[in-house]
Amino acid sequence: MGGFLIVNTFSMLVAQRSRELALLRALGASRRQVVRSVQLEAFVVGLVGSVLGLGLGVLLALGIRAVFARVGLDLGSQPLVLEPRTVVAALAVGIVVTMVAAWGPARRTTRIAPVEALRDDVALPETTIRRRMLVGAALVVGGGGAVLAGLAGSVPRAGWWVGLGVLAVLLGVAAASPVIGRPVLVGAHAAYRRLFGTVGNLAGLNALRNPRRTAATASALMIGLTLATTMAILGDSAKASVDRTIAQTFPGDFVVSNQVGEGFSTAIGDAMGEVEGVASVVRVRYGLAETGDRPRRLGGVEPSTFRDLGVGTVSGDLADLVDGTAVVDEDYADDAGIGVGDDLVVATVAGERRLPVVAVVDPGSVLPSIATTTATLLDAGYRDLDNTLVVEAEADPPGGLAGLQDRLEQAAGDNPLVTVKDQAEYAAEQRAPIDRLVLVVFALLGLALVIAVLGIVNTLALSVVERTREVGLLRAVGLGRGQLRWMITLESVVIAALGAVLGLVLGTTFGLALMRMLRDEGLEVISVPIGQLAGFAAAALVVGVLAATLPARRAARLDVLAAVSTE
């Protein structure tokens, strides 16, 4: 996104100095010398910006660590690591990106013949819209094909194909945005003319005057909103999938667990079994075991209470679950290619165990994908602790379920980490890690919006400088200061609206595509947070209004006579 800002800035700066650069050519400077002068400026800008960015990055890292601590991921014991290679990489990337971004505008200056410096209307040649459209279309088609191939699973490393395809589509849309975004600009011009009269008409025409510049400025906001929209859809869909899974498989009336995932004393389960109104208590224990592909949780349940967990049987018979055997859920059975009668080899704390599979069951919200008996789990070297208790209430417990929950919490004793949750509370607990992850990602994406705001401010500020004489003439023929500020604000809103439209469309498309890819990972519910996306659109318009504040104020304060006499 910084690259778009740099390209736009140097394009405008070189365009404003095109007469000066052409005069240098007329006085004997070669094309190579002109390009080198612009590249030297880019080097200095890149060096200064990289040094400042490195310092701000260190401060940001400290801030992010503080944010992580607030959402439950405390990194306070880990010192901040700043390697020399990090400094070198930051400076190298900043300088190289700046110089590469400035190379195109610098090269275009050499297309101005020296004799053109004698003209008053000398202008910097622009890349043809047609060429940008062709390049953009090629990137979109190629990227879209890569995404489809990745989603279909017909290529190795499908995730890489999807990621690179998404990047190609983003770059393609950015390249072709002067054409793709033209309907938005035309529609905004028509709406402005109808709603705001002459001022709106001028603002719409200014946005249409240089669609390449308008689209380039909007591209940074487009990328930020694309990523934010994609994450919003993924996060909302993940939470909806969790809610549906729990609604379908939540056992009993209450689940008792440790907030940090550790085990707790079996005495708590014993005490809850004696609570008035409790019909049964099912103990579930967890241990981490290697299964050949990756570490997985190995559950332990008493065979007599297994059916109380409410899981359905796909094949086999739960009555065959005895010590030394195992039950697996359908998802793991499909992934591992095993079924009833096959031996499941797991590496436990006490060594390797070979467990015959006696049943395949539906996935559950409490039971891990692999389960055995409690005795088998303890024999494998795991601690004698409960990890989850499933409490079933009597038909009409004294005080109702609310009263029973209070008594269960009293039975948990003074351990603040052991909690008693009903279905809604358990679902909220399972959604909490997703909320934290999405919050952290949104915080990082907030930086993208800051860059987008800076891009709009920068473009409008340079545009005001570029149009100083025009602004003076408008003021001379009767345009008031307030009207001028409003005109520039409307221009800024058009840029923000274009970025919002493209970002929301692309983000929704990518979000739905990724959810399709993750369907086999258990995220079967696709949910589009319409309210959140509407909030993104509104925030983009607010960004447009705020970004115009300083450039509009500067334009309104220009001296009319001095502006009119500007060459």
Tens of pLDDT along 39-60? 888 888 888 888 888 888 788 7
Helix axes 481-517, 549-556, angle to 10 degrees: 160
Query: Which residues on neighbouring strands pair with residue 471, listed in sequence order?
Result: none
* pLDDT digit string, tens, across residues 397-454: 888 888 988 888 888 887 788 888 888 888 888 888 888 778 777 777 777 777 778 7
pLDDT at 273 > cutoff 70: yes
Can you give the pLDDT at residue 18? Answer: 66
Distance between terminal CA atoms of the chain?
33
What average pLDDT score do residues 193-221 get?
84
User: CB–CB of 4/220 below 8 Å?
Assistant: yes
Long-range contacts formed by 300-305: CB under 8 A, 24+ apart: 300/371, 300/372, 300/373, 300/374, 300/376, 300/377, 300/378, 300/382, 301/367, 301/371, 301/372, 301/373, 301/374, 302/373, 302/374, 303/373, 305/280
Q: Is residue 15 over pLDDT 70?
A: no
Residue with the two structure tokens 């910084």: 2
| The token pair that represents 214 in the structure block | 């308008």
- Give mean pLDDT, residues 148-165: 78
Please state whether beta strands 313-316 and 326-329 pair in parallel, antiparallel, or not at all (unpaired).
unpaired
Q: Is the pLDDT of residue 123 over 80?
A: no
Q: Is 198 a residue whose pLDDT tops 50?
A: yes
Q: Torsion over CA of 532, 533, 539 and 543, rounded to 10 degrees?
A: 150
Amino acid at 358: V
Helix boundaries (H) for 259-411: 266-273, 330-336, 374-379, 400-411
Q: What pLDDT score does 75 carry?
A: 55
Mean pLDDT computed over every residue of the chain? 81
In sequence order, the β-bridge partners of residue 258 are: 418
Q: Which residues of 7-35 are buried (b: 16+ CB within 10 A; e: fewer)?
A: bbbbbbbbbeebbebbbbbeeebeeeebb
Q: How confident is the model at residue 383 (pLDDT cuts 50, 70, 90)?
A: confident
- The two structure tokens encoding residue 317: 């018979």
- Distance between CA atoms of residues 434 and 530, nearest Å: 18
**Averaged pLDDT for residues 549-564:** 82
In this prediction, residue 17 carries a pLDDT of 67
Tell me the C-alpha distance between 556 and 441, whole Å.
39
Q: Give dist(CA 141, CA 130) in Å, integer.
A: 16
Range in 228-232, 277-281, 309-313, 444-448 with the lowest mean pLDDT = 444-448
Question: How far apart are the C-alpha atoms of 124 and 416, rounded to whole Å?
Answer: 69
Percentage of residues of the chain with pLDDT beyond 70? 88
- Check: CB of residue 517 under 8 Å from CB of residue 237: no
| pLDDT one-digit tens code per residue, 480-493 | 888 888 998 998 89
Q: pLDDT band at 513, cuts 50/70/90?
A: confident
What pLDDT, on a 0 to 100 scale, did the predictor assign at position 2? 63
* Token couple for 162: 């999807």
**This prediction's pTM:** 0.74
pLDDT value of residue 127: 52
The position carrying tokens 């910006």 is 49
What the block records as the tokens of 327 is 């039950």
Q: How high is the pLDDT of residue 113?
A: 65
Which of 127-131, 133-137, 151-155 has the least mean pLDDT? 127-131
Q: Are 560 and 475 in contact (CB under 8 A)?
A: yes
Report the DSSP beta bridge partners of residue 313: 361
Higher pLDDT, 355 or 104: 355
Q: Report whether pLDDT(107) > 50.
A: yes
Q: Which of 5-9, 179-183, 215-219, 299-303 has the lowest mean pLDDT?
A: 5-9
Mean pLDDT of 63-74: 63
pLDDT of 305 reads: 84
- Taking the C-alpha atoms of residue 447 and residue 459, their distance in angstroms, rounded to an integer, is 18
Q: Which amino acid is at 313?
A: T
Beta-sheet pairing, 326-329 with 254-258:
unpaired
Q: What is the mean pLDDT of residues 509-515?
A: 85
Q: Pick the range with the lowest mean pLDDT from 14-23, 223-232, 245-254, 503-512.
A: 14-23
